[in-house]
Structure 1
Amino acid sequence: MNWYVIYTKPKWEKKVAERLLEIGIESYCPVITQIKQWSDRKKKVEVPLFNSYVFVKLLESERNSVFQISGVVRYLFWLGKPAIVRDEEINIIKKSLSSPNLSDVSVTSIQVGDRITLETGAFSNQDAIVKEVSNTHYILVLESLGCVLKIKYK
């Protein structure tokens, strides 16, 4: 069985993951907690780590079964074939999300184009390329995970 990536309607990630589990398809929608600001209050909300993406683990022959669920749009393809995510990569995401927040990460004298290895925090031991450095944040590309990480600092 492989992990595949399905593309969902916007804001349907958690609903799709729940409904897939209900029909017996193993799914994973990684979420992070953010503080959202409204005009009258602040609230902690869980939002998907990857917008419009849900991971599903199933056999190649069962791939069409996900389309029973409302909100599923299509599979993510890579080089003309459905993208397959390795178990190890899913485990890295799960481990990263169960680690303490990134707020304790501090970086000094980093320049655009540098290759670095994150030493602490949720993405420890991950190699990254620095794409942007500003007064408030760093933008890093984590090639092994195929994602961009924005680290804010104080």
Structure 2
Amino acid sequence: MHLDLSKRGVESYLPLKVEKRKWSDRVKVIEEPLLRGYLFVKVSNKEYFDVLNNAGAVSYVAFAGKAASIPENQIHSLKTFVSNFNDQINVTRERISKGTLVKIKRGLLKDVQGEIVEIRGKNRIVLRFESLGYCIHSEIAIDDVECLESDSVLD
């Protein structure tokens, strides 16, 4: 859709994240949309409905029935952030809070389950592991866990 709109002269921005994917025989570098399902467009009133007629378009993100408008300086900031910190970007819709049950995704404790007992800043959590009959605490990066409770995901 991004390429189709560009060919038609509609200004659009699709933030991409570079990721390494490991197959059994090789590692491949791929680009994926940073925000799945989102394409930023700058349109005139005339182009507003034309964009929706494009294959793959569903709707504009709207608040109170009006299409969301993002200031150009914020789009510029997003572009700068994506180009300078692409390898450090992690996007999640999960809301992590004390008491949330999580599973560790990588490292020596991979697949171990625990409960969040403390949140330290925006990037670290303290987990409690009771699987051995003891309460063991460990400080883990938020990016290294996934929520096991469905109510911890924002809709």
Give the TM-score, by structure 2 length: 0.57
- Counterpart in 1 of 2:37? 52
SS in 2 for 1:97: helix
Matching residue within 142, 147, 151 for 1:138: 142
Query: Does the 8 Å CA contact 2:14/2:38 hold for their aligned counterparts?
Result: yes
CA deviations on 1:28-68 (whole Å, 9 max, x unpaired) are 00101100112222100011110010000012342101023
Which stretches in structure 2 are left out of the alignment for 5+ residues? 90-117, 127-138, 144-155
Match of 2:83 among 92, 98, 110: 98
Higher strand share: 1
Structure with the bigger RCO (C-alpha within 8 Å, sep 6+) is 1
The equivalent position to 1:27 in structure 2, one of 1, 9, 12, is 12
TM-score, reference length from structure 1: 0.58
Question: Percent of aligned positions with the same letter in both sequences?
Answer: 28
**Bigger-Rg structure (1/2):** 2
Counterpart of 1:64 in structure 2 is 49
Gaps of 5+ in 1: 1-15, 104-110, 115-129, 140-154
**CA distance in 2: counterparts of 1:41 and 1:55, whole angstroms:** 33
